[in-house]
Structure 1
Amino acid sequence: MDRKKRWMIYGMLTLATSTWGSAFIAGKIAIESFDPATISFLRFWGAALLLFPIMWIVEKNIPKITKKDWALFALLGLTGIAIYNICFFLASKYAPVIKSSLFIGANPMLIMLLSGLLLKETITKRNVIGLLLAFSGAVTIITEGNMMVLFTLQFELIDFILLGALVSWALYSVIGRAVLQKFSSIVSTTYAVGFGTLFLLPFSLYEKPWENFGSSTLPAWLAIAHMSVFVTVIGFILYYYGIQKIGVAKASIFINVMPVSAVVMATIFLGETLTFTTMVGAIFVVTGVYVGTTVKRQKDLATAHAKTG
């Protein structure tokens, strides 16, 4: 892969994970009118309404879908859409924000481990160093520089829910890599979202969302629309495209951009203060992503020489 195309993919992954950071802001607005499972269902239902027409228009030669493929699509919807969102919102309601954020921040580590064990992806020293730098930056942002907070966290039952969110997203990423060997990022995302929406429906119905429709606000609906279009349709397609092109391990490092994005957007839209500690953490994240995803210049020259020699 040439240098220009590689940087284009890195830019797409940065955009994808940045939009995920905006979901924290949109979620705070939407939760004022709807319950968690209903927000998830409406978000992915709206995304599905957009994704299926896009897929039918853009993808003219979709490979034949076998029973095994349908099972994998369903598994993607179950892990990355249904279970992850249910666990995430439960954790948001009952777990400390710091603990929830740390579990999500640890996601790239588990993804990198699984990609090496299950997919036999090559994990380089630069990948590991970059991941640790980026994670350190994310932890700095989450704890606001007070690392002693980590020692005050105690084991609770909600930790199992957080672990469910951690494992489900890692599985979504790793299984997605296998699916992407046959299908495009648009097809994979569309069917994953379709199945995930079906799995979320009973949880939403349990919350009786129709009772909240009358009192719901326009900002809440706009927040859900934002999560459908930008966070899900654009963000998920770009993330899967990145996985398809550079692998799960490298693509997962960009997840550390999410807390940086969330803090910046909270500063812009919610009037929160952007602290010096946050900026230091952001520098660590950017440095980590750069180190973990770039290859040595000598390797680039050797590759180019081999192609022309």
Structure 2
Amino acid sequence: MTQQRLWPVYLMLAFATSTWGSAFVAGRFATETFDPVTVSFLRFFFAALILIPMMMILEKDRPKPSKTDWLLLISLGLTGIAIYNIAFFTAAKYAPIVKSSLFIASNPVLIILLSGLFLKETITKRNVTGLVLALTGAVIIITNGQILATLRNGLEPIDLVLLFAVICWALYSVLGKVALKKFSALTSTTYAVTIGTLMLMPFAVYETSWSQVEAADWVVWSSIFHMSIIVTVISFLMYYQGIKIIGAAKASLFINLMPVSAVILAVIFLDEPLLLAHIIGAMFVFTGVTVGTRTKPLWIHQQKRKARKTAS
């Protein structure tokens, strides 16, 4: 597929991963009433109610999973739905959003390494350059430009939770690429969400009281529905489709857009300060994504188009 035809795919991935940034703010609102496990369960329970009938209608000829496939799908539900989201919402409740967004944005490093190791995907110099630029921007955002001071302070317990989330999401992304060799994006997502929801259900039922349900206001429920429909159903499908078209390594670069949107939304809805470091970091992120996804300079494609016109 030519670079020109890939731009709609890049825009789709940019929208999907930017939308994930809103989950940080929505998660903060939701965890004010419910515990992280319950928020995770409710998010994917409502998403499953949409995805299951959608899959039944649109994927009538979907392949039947084998025993090996079930193991793969269970791994997707465990890593990307159950464990990752417990860690994510724990961070949303106890950690600053800008800090959480950096840890999550570091996913591409591990995803690219795992993709090259297990999926044998080619890692180009442009991928590496784009990755370095994007991660540099993410580091600037999270540290407010005080990188050395952050390194001296060391890791906090919540940082270990976020690091665990990074590992789980990287595994989920790479396993998802394997699943897409047999199943469609819709089918893979539906199986993963349904399995993850079933894993979360007993823990959510145990820790949630009826008084918590009654105490949840419209902001809490709106946040949960937003994460279910927009962040989960729509964005997950877009991300999976992007992985299928351009590969897990290149698609993972777009995850660096998530901290940018998270910071912007945190400033708007949570009154967190917008600093010059955030703006500079965002510029690095966008530059990194552009460099990492472009296989050849734009002027080369322009020269080829002119040559074809001249030849015709």
Q: TM-score, normalised by structure 1?
A: 0.92
Contact 2:82 2:200 in 1 (8 A): yes
Q: Secondary structure in 2 aligned to 1:139?
A: helix
CA deviations on 1:220-267 (whole Å, 9 max, x unpaired) are 001000000011001111111111000010011111000101112223
The SS at the match of 1:23 is helix
C-alpha contact 2:98 2:141 (8 A) present in aligned 1: no
Distance 1:162 1:269 in 2: 22
2:119 maps to amino acid? L
Aligned to 1:150: 150
1:189 is matched with which residue? 189
Shift of 1:303: 9.7
Residue 141 of structure 1 corresponds to 141
Partners of 2:93 and 2:273 lie apart in 1 by 24
Q: How far, CA to CA, are the matches of 1:5 and 1:102 in structure 2?
A: 31
Higher deviation after alignment, 275-284 or 174-183: 275-284
Match of 1:86 in 2: 86
Aligned ranges 1:126-275 → 2 under 5 Å: 126-156=126-156, 158-275=158-275
Deviation of residue 154 (structure 1)?
2.3
RMSD between aligned residues: 2.4
- CA contact under 8 A between 2:99 and 2:142: conserved in structure 1? no
Deviation at 1:64, TM superposition (A): 2.5
Q: Does 1:55 align with 2:55?
A: yes
Deviations 1:168-222 (A, max 9, x none): 1111000000000111111111110000101111221231242301111111001
For residues 247 and 300 of structure 2, what CA distance do their matches in structure 1 show?
18
1:28 pairs with 2:36: no
**1:24-43 alpha-carbon deviations (Å, 9 max, x no partner):** 11111111221111111000
How far did residue 2 of structure 1 move? 2.5
Once the two structures are superposed, residues 61-80 of structure 1 have per-residue CA deviations (whole angstroms, 9 ceiling, x without a partner) of: 21222121122111100000
Q: Does 1:37 align with 2:37?
A: yes
Look up the equivalent residue of 1:85 and give its one-letter code: N
**Cα distance in structure 2, aligned partners of 1:209 and 1:300:** 60
1:77 and 1:288, CA in 2 relative to 1: closer, same or farther beyond 3 A? same
Measured after TM superposition, the shift of residue 139 of structure 1 is 1.1
1:70 alignment partner in structure 2:
70
In structure 1, give the amino acid aligned to 2:51.
Answer: L
Whichever residue aligns with residue 128 of structure 1, its letter is V
2:215 aligns to what SS in structure 1?
A: coil
Task: List runs of 5+ in structure 2 lacking aligned partners.
Answer: none
Cα distance in structure 1, aligned partners of 2:78 and 2:130? 30
Query: Any conservation in 2 of the 1:140–1:278 contact (CA below 8 Å)?
Result: yes
Amino acid aligned to 1:6: L
How far apart in 2 are the matches of 1:156 and 1:262?
A: 21
Residues 30 and 221 of structure 1 are in contact (CA less than 8 Å); yes or no, is this contact kept in structure 2? yes
Count of residue pairs the alignment pairs up = 307
Deviations 1:113-166 (A, max 9, x none): 000000000000000010010011111111111213322332455554333212
Distance 1:86 1:292, change over 3 A: same
- For the Cα contact (< 8 Å) 1:105–1:139, is it kept in 2? no
Give the whole-Å Cα distance in 2 for the aligned partners of 1:269 and 1:100: 16
| CA deviation string 1:263-290 (max 9, x = no partner) | 1222333344433221111111000000
Q: 2 CA distance for matches of 1:27 and 1:250?
A: 27
TM-score, normalized by length of structure 2?
A: 0.91
Name the structure 1 match of 2:289. 289
Q: Which residues in structure 2 correspond to 1:7-22 (within 5 Å)?
A: 7-22=7-22
Aligned-pair identity (%): 57
What pairs with 1:104-123 in structure 2 (closer than 5 Å)?
104-123=104-123
In the alignment, the residues of structure 2 paired with residue 215 and residue 78 of structure 1 have an alpha-carbon distance, to the nearest angstrom, of 30
Counterparts of 2:199 and 2:183, CA distance in 1: 22
